[in-house]
Structure 1
Amino acid sequence: MPELTGRTVLLAGATSASGRAAARTLLARGARVVATGRSAEKLEPLAALGAETEVLDPTDEQAVRALVRRLHERGLTVDGLLHLVGGWRGGGGLAGQTEEDYRALEASFTALRHLSRALDDDLRASPAGRLAIVSSTAVARPLAGGANYAAVKAAGEAWTRAVAQGWAKAAREAGEPLRAAAVVLRVKALAGLEDRLAEDFAQLWAADPAELNDSILTIQEKGTD
């Protein structure tokens, strides 16, 4: 596991079990962790672990940009973003995919767009910028009962790959080595794999960014790789 002392990592949507696992792993490796969530109360366990916490509605673009400004005012620039904003709604076949369900799920994609744009300069300038989203194996094999969910996850993957292409192009045109990498982490179901997700995310800093950028990695139980 790489040493992350000196790195600042932002966990978006950190109040889940996955967020707590990621915070523990990153803090243990020396990273400075900024954990965000909509509820101050639900952020308390992250603060107890040693993370800095920020109440944030990631679907509010101005709120996201204000957070980044506050970090900069404190002398912090972000080296890593783990996007954990998500949720599940589905079932009932195609006819059961309601517009209300879609709009609720779409918030994850909206948050990703806001966060990645607001942090683009930080991640590009970092000596080792990393952006990762948690996606789903449903993108490769969508089912009618999860059409809304798979569509939103597919949009998130497309956006992340576009970020990766932009970073690679900018490095090429500047005649500089690529230092940042944007990655898709796919999982069938996160329950029971929270620690593995955290380990795999931290491990991104050990990989060559030129090989890592624009990759899709599947998170599995240890021993099933």
Structure 2
Amino acid sequence: MSAGRPLNVVVTGGSGPSGIATARALREAGHTVFTVGSDGPRIGAAAAEAGDGVVPLPCDLASLPDVRALHATISGRAGRVDGVIHLVGGWRGASGITDQTDEDWDFLERGAITTLRNVTRVFYDDLAASDTGRFAMVTSTAVATPTAAGASYVAAKAAAEAWTLAVAEGFSTESRSGSGEQHGAAVIFVVRGLVDPGMRAKSPGRSFPGYTDVADLAAAAVGLFTAPAAELNGQRLLLSR
């Protein structure tokens, strides 16, 4: 758990409502927050909306060299990174199995799998060395009940989950070979869907049953840094109502 010092936390996929809410909540909790998106002006606007002190950084997370450059930038400004909240996502669907397109698969593989692989490979050593290293990703309840229409989406999410569980095992191995105390944790937030104030405003008559408000996702992300790593590591945490 945090020793009281401000932690350095990276929010990837920070341009959307979930990224803005999470960056805001982490900053309000006293952490130093770097929010990352592929479009410079958009991530700049998102950081400004999240609040004073949130640092925007543009990066193509699907490019390993770019992620390494991102790490170098953050390390030069703040030192070691203590947490990564990975919110990169996207949806593509079809009517069934036969019309799952290669273009949709490439989009989902790039967004759901490649970005996560790059970020964890580059930031893993920082998280493993931190007294409060945390990595979190968001997945869908659909992974447990895949449909033909969502085959590409759930397959990509399932792969991302498997990689994250491998990261968790890496943290466990680090603790066994070191002091024996668990410091790092990788977790999976499970949601049916996410809802934000903009969505509610556009559909005032809709109740969004089972959806998780982005504010609740943000609160769960903040809570990772005060919960024991040994209790968190490798867990799939259901946030859907």
TM over 0.5: yes
Partner of 2:174: 170
Of 57, 70, 73, which residue of structure 2 is paired with 1:67?
70
User: Secondary structure of the residue that 2:194 maps to in structure 1?
Assistant: coil
Structure 2 distance, partners of 1:4, 1:175, is 21
Letter in 1 for 2:140: S
Structure 1: 5+ residue runs without aligned partners? Answer: none
Q: 1:161: which partner in 2?
A: 165
How far is the alpha carbon of 1:220 from its aligned partner? Answer: 2.2
Is 2:208 aligned against 1:204? Answer: no
Q: Which amino acid aligns with 1:102?
A: W
* Aligned-partner Cα distance in 2 for 1:60–1:4: 34
Which residues of structure 2 form unaligned runs of 5+? 197-212
State yes or no: 1:127 paired with 2:123.
no
- The answer (yes or no) to whether the contact 1:164–1:182 under 8 Å persists in 2 is yes
In structure 2, the partner of 1:152 is 156
2:14 aligned residue? 14
Say whether residues 1:82 and 2:85 are aligned partners: yes
Shift of residue 201, structure 1, vs aligned partner? 1.1
Q: Match of 1:220?
A: 240
Report what 1:113 is aligned to: 117
Q: 2:100 aligns with which of 92, 97, 102?
A: 97
Residues 37-69 of structure 1 show CA distances to partners (whole Å, capped at 9, x for unaligned) of 011111123332231011100000001001111
Structure 1 position 191, deviation (Å): 1.8
Question: Could you tell me whether the CA contact under 8 Å between 1:161 and 1:182 is conserved in 2?
Answer: yes
Q: Offset at 1:149?
A: 0.4
Identity of aligned residues (%): 40
What is the distance in 2 between the residues matched to 1:147 and 1:116? Answer: 25
CA contact (8 A) 1:8 1:32 kept: yes
Q: Which moved more, 1:139-148 or 1:202-211?
A: 202-211
1:66-94 CA-to-partner distances (Å, cap 9, x unmatched) read 11112222242111101111100002111
- C-alpha separation in 2, matches of 1:93 and 1:220: 26
Q: Tell me how far apart the structure 2 counterparts of residues 89 and 123 of structure 1 sit (CA, whole Å).
A: 31
Equivalent position SS for 2:94: coil
Deviations 1:142-180 (A, max 9, x none): 111000000000000000000000110121022330101
CA contact (8 A) 1:3 1:30 kept: no
Q: CA deviation at 1:3?
A: 9.6
C-alpha distance 42-30 of structure 1, shift in aligned 2 (>3 A): same
**Residue 101 of structure 1, CA deviation:** 0.3
What secondary structure does 1:118 align onto? helix
| Number of equivalent positions | 220
Q: Distance in 2 between matches of 1:55 and 1:25?
A: 20
- Paired with 1:14 and 1:3, the residues of 2 have a C-alpha distance of 26
